[in-house]
Amino acid sequence: MIRLRLLTAGESHGPELVVILDGMPAGLVIDARSDIDPDLARRQGRAVTGDGGAYRGASARMRVERDVANIVGGVLAGRTTGGPVAVRVVNADHNSWKGKALPPISVPRPGHADLAGVVKFGHDDIRLTIERASARETAARVVAGAICRRLIAELGVRVGSYVTAIGPVKADVSRMSLAGRVDAAATSLLCCPCAEATGRMEEFLEETMRAGDTAGGTFDVVALGAPPGLGSYTQWDQRLSSQLAAAIVSIPAVGAVEIGEALANAARPGTEVHGDLALDPDSRVRRIGASGGGIEGGISTGEPIWIRAAMKPIATTVRPHASIDLASGALAATEYQRSDFCAVPRAAVVGEAMVCLVLADALLVKLGGDSLDEIRMRAAALRQGRIGDFTMRAGTKVFWP
């Protein structure tokens, strides 16, 4: 990120998570209750029932936590000041850990950060690794993402997500519009826009839990209303595609990201993949039938931005893995620790947060400005790809004299 900086701190069972989001412009109205807490509830998987119940398969910890954002800096009288925004999220579960002597953990769970972390940091107790490697940290990202969502909403950008597969159970959403998928997912406990597939996913999750196993899956994140011209091909790290991909694979357990229909496109002929250009009645140049996810040359095209993420099954399984007790060197089975059986619907909300963060940064880079008023004026002057926006009247030039 170029203009924004996000730092998070805190342990899964420590007193609280801390978020610092630096670089937000002044003048943005932020209300923690209406702008941040609803996304925190969605990340906990408890936004649909409203009664605190998450979907079956979400961690039992979600029955303990009621995540709320406590803004402690950068927002005065309800508006951002331009200073760093600081937010705290209390870990309710801390009360059951505070003051307790905890036996060390010395048997690493394959697939988690356990072994890699203790090798890297030289920890004498795996707990020192897992406390920070825990996906609890994503609550802090959702706070930052929600603030960014408020900013980009002011500029007409809407970000949403939906689950397309849990384990091998896939939802066919191909006949639904992107906005329709996001709207339908909002009322689904599993964040899946397709009711029929949701039923099969729930059955699959029940079987998975009965078998002491866990499930991964896929989710899409879409951004509607993003203007053309975000990101740049001029440097590798300024491509919007590379920024979005990095942000999505930074989510714990996410191992793949696809922009548009990239995987299917690898097998299709170019004439099918890239679509055509046509003029809208308002003389805007549009892409028709393009499948590149709203990005060309690392730059947003003004079409919907569409990305897909693949999440591996949660590494903590009730059925043990063979492992090694690093204290004794003896073979040992992993011990089950409370965890999600499937976190895909929750990860989709984190995916939205990461996309909001990247798009807010890209918009601020494109528009500049220190206050929302300045940014709004600059946004209104953005080139939108209308015929009148182009300056193609150049004569012959010697490029390399």
- Shortest approach of ligand EPS to residue 339 CB, angstroms? 5
Question: Which range, of 171-179, 224-232, 334-342, 353-361, touches ligand EPS by CB under 6 A?
Answer: 334-342
Other C-beta atoms within 10 Å of 312: how many? 15
Check residue 61 for interaction with ligand EPS (CB under 6 A): yes
- Kindly compute the dihedral angle of the four CA atoms of residues 24, 27, 28, 29, in this order, to the nearest 10 degrees: 140
Nearest residue (CB) to ligand EPS, 46 versus 366 = 46
Helix, strand, or coil (residue 400): coil
- Shortest approach of ligand EPS to residue 117 CB, angstroms? 12
- Sign of CA pseudo-dihedral 279, 282, 285, 286: negative
- Shortest approach of ligand EPS to residue 314 CB, angstroms? 8
Check residue 59 for interaction with ligand EPS (CB under 6 A): yes
CA 235 distance to own-chain centroid: 24
Q: Which residue has the tokens 């079409």?
A: 303
Check residue 317 for interaction with ligand EPS (CB under 6 A): no
Nearest residue (CB) to ligand EPS, 131 versus 296 = 131
4, 148, 339, 359: residue in contact with ligand EPS (rule CB under 6 A): 339
28, 105, 135, 192: residue in contact with ligand EPS (rule CB under 6 A): 135
Check residue 22 for interaction with ligand EPS (CB under 6 A): no
- Shortest approach of ligand EPS to residue 338 CB, angstroms? 4
Nearest residue (CB) to ligand EPS, 222 versus 251 = 251
- Shortest approach of ligand EPS to residue 63 CB, angstroms? 10
The DSSP output letter for 75 is: E
Structural element, H or E, at residue 331: strand 331-333
Nearest residue (CB) to ligand EPS, 131 versus 361 = 131
Where b means 16+ CB within 10 Å and e means fewer, 125-145 reads bbbbbbbbbbbbbbbbbbbbb
Nearest residue (CB) to ligand EPS, 63 versus 383 = 63
8, 106, 129, 134: residue in contact with ligand EPS (rule CB under 6 A): 134
Nearest residue (CB) to ligand EPS, 54 versus 192 = 54
Among 179, 175, 212, CA closest to 197:
175
- Which residues, at least 6 apart from 106, have a Cβ–Cβ distance to it below 8 Å? 125, 126, 325, 326, 327, 328
Nearest residue (CB) to ligand EPS, 243 versus 316 = 316
What whole-number distance in Å separates Cα of residue 226 and Cα of residue 363? 9
Check residue 12 for interaction with ligand EPS (CB under 6 A): yes
Residue 210: left (phi > 0), alpha (psi -120 to 50), or beta? alpha
Check residue 93 for interaction with ligand EPS (CB under 6 A): yes
Interface residues toward ligand EPS, by CB under 6 A: 12, 59, 61, 65, 93, 130, 134-136, 138-139, 337-340
